[in-house]
Amino acid sequence: MDINARLQKLTRLGLAVRGLLYIVVGLLVVTTGRAEDPSGALQYLGEGGGKLLLIVLTAGLLAYSIWRLSDAAFDIERHGSDRKGVMQRVGAAASGVVHLLLSWQAIRLIQGVVSAGDGTRDGARTALQLPAGGALVIAGGAVLLAAGFVQLVNALRARFLRHLEPRIARQPWALWSGRAGYAARGCVFLISGFFLVLAGLDERASEAGGTAQALTWLDSPFDIVVAFGLLAFGAFGLIEARYRILSEVPADQLLHRATSRL
């Protein structure tokens, strides 16, 4: 089995891991009222499943981040060079970084280091300590707002189906799990982006927040509605893990370039 085949198998594992994390986030809200983000869901799974499960989750998250970063760098999903394509590659880079950080958290959990706090809030606090930190936080909020809008458009137009095998893309359960999932995720991004903009304007990191804070902010029954949407997004992640059409990462070329420079 060549490098690309191995990476594709691990990428599918990563898609399944991402789906599992969102399923846990949704289930915690629906069954216990506990609001968590994917980072909190990762810690929750680690507490219940032990180190072996965390090792599997880490492998999947690392592979998924490599795939997303490779897409950003080499356009393996064929986004194109126009403005839309560039923005899609920027989104792939952001997703790759986020999942790389999640994989690092998983490694720390394996080492027995329990993380605390909210990543979005911690990031805002760090940014506010920099020159023009408020503007940086506002810019981050604007990016999240734009991402939320893109997610909602994706839910409406069902663009996510183009990445699935055609026979699966025609199935109603694939369409509606994706639509509900992307709509819920878009709402969470919009709320989180709003929090970040407020934090930047007031220069107060305590006003920033991610998925957990967005779910807490929503009143009943809207928090439950969004939680069911995140459950659907997790289910769609499992569908992607099995049926997504994956483009090859030019791993052989990269390895050849790296070794030729030694």
pLDDT in tens, 93-140: 988 888 998 899 889 888 887 665 566 777 777 888 878 888 888 988
| 75 is a domain residue | yes
More confident residue, 8 or 36: 36
Name the average pLDDT for the chain: 87
The rounded distance, in Å, linking the Cα atoms of 236 and 231 is 9
| 57 is a domain residue | yes
The rounded distance, in Å, linking the Cα atoms of 14 and 69 is 13
| 11 is a domain residue | yes
Per mean pLDDT, which range of 121-125, 186-190, 217-221 is the poorest?
121-125
| 97 is a domain residue | yes
Does residue 221 have a cis peptide bond before it, meaning omega lies within 30 degrees of 0?
A: yes
E-strand ranges in 156-244 read none
Q: What's the domain range around 116? A: 3-245
pLDDT reported for residue 125: 77
| 257 is a domain residue | no
pTM: 0.88
Residue 75 DSSP one-character state: -
Helices (H) and strands (E) in the chain, counts: 10, 0
Residue 219 DSSP one-character state: P
Which tokens sit at 161? 């189906």
pLDDT reported for residue 74: 81
Which tokens sit at 7? 């990476």
Name the pLDDT band for 218 (thresholds 50, 70, 90). Answer: very high
* φ, ψ for residue 164, nearest 5 deg: -95, 160
| 250 is a domain residue | no
| 254 is a domain residue | no
Q: Does residue 227 have a pLDDT over 70? A: yes
Q: Quote the number of domains for the chain.
A: 1
Which tokens sit at 129? 């300590």
The rounded distance, in Å, linking the Cα atoms of 110 and 3 is 26
